Amino acid sequence: MSNENLLKQVAFIKEIDQLKYIQRRTKLFNSDRHENDAEHSWHLAMMAIVLAEHSNTTIDLLKVLKMLLIHDIVEIDAGDTFIYDQTKSHTNTAAELLAAKRIFGMLPEAQAASLIAVWEEFEAGVTDEAKFARSMDRFEPLLQNISNKGGTWEEFNVPYEKVVEKKKIIGDGSTPLWKYAAALLDEAVEKGILKK
């Protein structure tokens, strides 16, 4: 039975290698190279480890790390949805749910159910862990765009108001982090790399 589990888990481990090919719109810090989803997931997990003290509430860091490490795996099937896309919603789409069922469904049943639940909890954004995890997911590209003289804000003509609308949920996870991030956005406007 344990060996049957192992075979399923190894098949899953091979399958998720594809996350390394999914390109995001945002680019690495001070760079022209697009970030891929696997690198992004690693970076968010590292951020959660070092920024946990700024969470608004006591959080289960292990849960947060699981959320961040798996949150984009559905994009292997469903593709990356750009946060400022006007036509396609970034929220839990039918395609993403199908992807979660197929990919996590490669694992032993109980494990699949458990990881799908973690992913759904992240997507819903209601629990303290989901709020903090989502604030990491919004904060990283903000730092990247600033390092890249506006990055995707500049490239896709995204105005300050729209950026604030998307980024302010950082505060649901961490008030001090949002305070800091909001100041960075104001500075970006002053520097002319974000348009008001």
CB of 118 to its own copies, least distance (A): 10
How far is residue 123's CA from residue 52's CA, in Å, rounded to a whole number? 20
For helices 61-70 and 128-147, the axis angle rounded to 10 degrees is: 50
Binding to its own copies by residue 67, rule CB under 8 A? no
CB of 188 to its own copies, least distance (A): 15
- Residue 9 in contact with residue 107, Cβ under 8 Å? yes
Nearer to its own copies by Cβ, of 71 and 131: the residue is 71
Q: Which of 23, 51, 121, 182 binds its own copies (CB under 8 A)?
A: 51
List, as one string, the DSSP characters of the chain.
Answer: -HHHHHHHHHHHHHHGGGGGG-EEEEE-TTSSSEEEHHHHHHHHHHHHHHHGGG-SS---HHHHHHHHHHTTTTHHHH-PPPTT-SSS--S--HHHHHHHHHHHTTS-HHHHHHHHHHHHHHHHT-SHHHHHHHHHHHHHHHHHHHHTTTHHHHHTT--HHHHHHHHTTHHHH-HHHHHHHHHHHHHHHHHTSS--
Nearer to its own copies by Cβ, of 51 and 97: the residue is 51
Binding to its own copies by residue 2, rule CB under 8 A? yes
Site pattern 150..189 for its own copies (x: CB under 8 A): --------------------------xx--x---------
CA dihedral in degrees (171, 144, 60, 74; nearest 10)? 110
Residues in region 82-121 near its own copies by CB under 8 A: 107, 111, 115
Contact stretch for its own copies (CB under 8 A) within 61-69, 79-87, 89-97, 186-194: 61-69
Q: Which of 22, 24, 25, 38 binds its own copies (CB under 8 A)?
A: 38
Q: Which of 22, 45, 59, 99 binds its own copies (CB under 8 A)?
A: 45
CB of 132 to its own copies, least distance (A): 14
Binding region for its own copies (CB under 8 A): 2-3, 5-6, 9-10, 12-14, 16-17, 19-21, 28-29, 35-36, 38-39, 41-43, 45-47, 49-51, 53-54, 61-62, 65-66, 69-70, 107, 111, 115, 140, 143, 147, 176-177, 180
